[in-house]
């Protein structure tokens, strides 16, 4: 039977997945794809950070990380790559990106910021973090090695994050379509213990990284001699 046509990307909640993507890998891509499916997202925008706020200088340039995100998303019509943080002169604060997207997409469109559990737990350190809930819903996926959410949630969160989450928790993804922002939805994805640091480390030590990221990105890394030298 032919696949159901997907709704146009202008309808329904829009997923947003930001990251340093140094490099983008299958953990990111499955996170985006499983969020799209589980949460009924019309599309997912991948947003490479130009100047990630909470880490040192990435090993590859912003333009290289953008190029790898474009290669990785080729062939998935539900994935869009947003270059706004790469083009911006300022640090890649998520609240600023959400403000800009709100202005672009209007007040009614549901926006869903997709985070791995590690990023979610670090939220209280982010710039104007409490304002994030005014601009978008937040969807949180499990990530191997980080505290589980779900039934024990919010007991595993820091007190300030738990306080900010109070009254926002929803276990029904359908809720995301009924308001533009403000809800928090945990969801389960296939656990994949893949990280960009693991990939950089494997390349640096001369090991194969095939099947951890798309072949096109593997080829790009080799062609540009990324991650070969010391440093991680």
DSSP calls for the chain: -PPPPPPPTTSS-EEEEEE--TT--HHHHHHHHHHHHHHT-SEEEEEE-SS-TTSS--SS-HHHHHHHHHHHHTT-TTEEE--HHHH-SS---HHHHHHHHHHHH-SSS-EEEEEEHHHHHTGGGSTTGGGHHHH-EEEEE--TTS---GGGTTTTS-HHHHHHHTTTB-S-GGGGGGSSS--EEEE--------HHHHHHHHHTT---BTTB-HHHHHHHHHTTTT-SS--
- Interface with ligand ATP (CB under 6 A): 19-22, 27-28, 31, 115-116, 118-119, 141, 143, 192, 194-197
Least separation in angstroms between CB 206 and ligand NCN: 25
Least separation in angstroms between CB 5 and ligand NCN: 31
Per rule CB under 6 A, is residue 92 in the interface with ligand NCN?
A: yes
Binding to ligand NCN by CB under 6 A, coded x per residue (else -) over 106-125, reads -------------x------
**Closer residue to ligand ATP (CB): 7 or 144:** 144
Q: From its phi and psi, is residue 184 left (phi > 0), alpha (psi between -120 and 50) or beta?
A: beta
Per rule CB under 6 A, is residue 86 in the interface with ligand NCN?
A: no
Least separation in angstroms between CB 8 and ligand ATP: 26
Per rule CB under 6 A, is residue 176 in the interface with ligand NCN?
A: no
Least separation in angstroms between CB 126 and ligand NCN: 3
Q: Which of 14, 29, 49, 68 binds ligand NCN (CB under 6 A)?
A: 49
Instruction: Specify the stretch interacting with ligand NCN by CB under 6 A; choose among 52-60, 135-143, 211-219, 220-228.
Output: 52-60
Per rule CB under 6 A, is residue 15 in the interface with ligand NCN?
A: no
Least separation in angstroms between CB 2 and ligand NCN: 36
């Amino acid at each position: 039977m032919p696949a159901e046509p997907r709704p146009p990307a202008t309808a329904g909640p829009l997923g947003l997945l930001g990251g340093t993507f140094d490099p983008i890998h299958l953990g990111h891509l499955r996170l985006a794809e499983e969020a799209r499916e589980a949460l009924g997202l019309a599309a997912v925008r991948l947003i490479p950070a130009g100047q990630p706020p909470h880490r040192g200088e990435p090993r590859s340039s912003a333009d290289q990380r953008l190029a790898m995100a474009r290669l990785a998303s080729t062939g998935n019509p539900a994935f869009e790559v947003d270059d706004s943080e790469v083009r911006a002169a300022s640090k890649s604060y998520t609240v600023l990106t959400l403000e800009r997207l709100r202005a672009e997409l209007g007040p009614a469109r549901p926006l869903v910021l997709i985070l791995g559990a590690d990023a979610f737990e670090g939220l209280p350190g982010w710039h104007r973090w409490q304002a994030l809930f005014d601009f978008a819903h937040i969807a949180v996926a499990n990530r191997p090695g980080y505290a589980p959410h779900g039934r024990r949630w919010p007991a595993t969160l820091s007190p300030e994050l738990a306080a900010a989450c109070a009254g926002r928790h929803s276990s029904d993804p359908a809720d995301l379509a009924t308001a533009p922002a403000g809800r928090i939805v945990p969801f389960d994805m296939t656990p994949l213990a893949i990280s960009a640091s693991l990939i950089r480390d494997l390349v640096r030590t001369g090991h194969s990284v095939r099947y951890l990221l798309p072949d096109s990105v593997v080829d790009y890394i080799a062609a540009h001699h990324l991650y070969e030298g010391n440093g991680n």
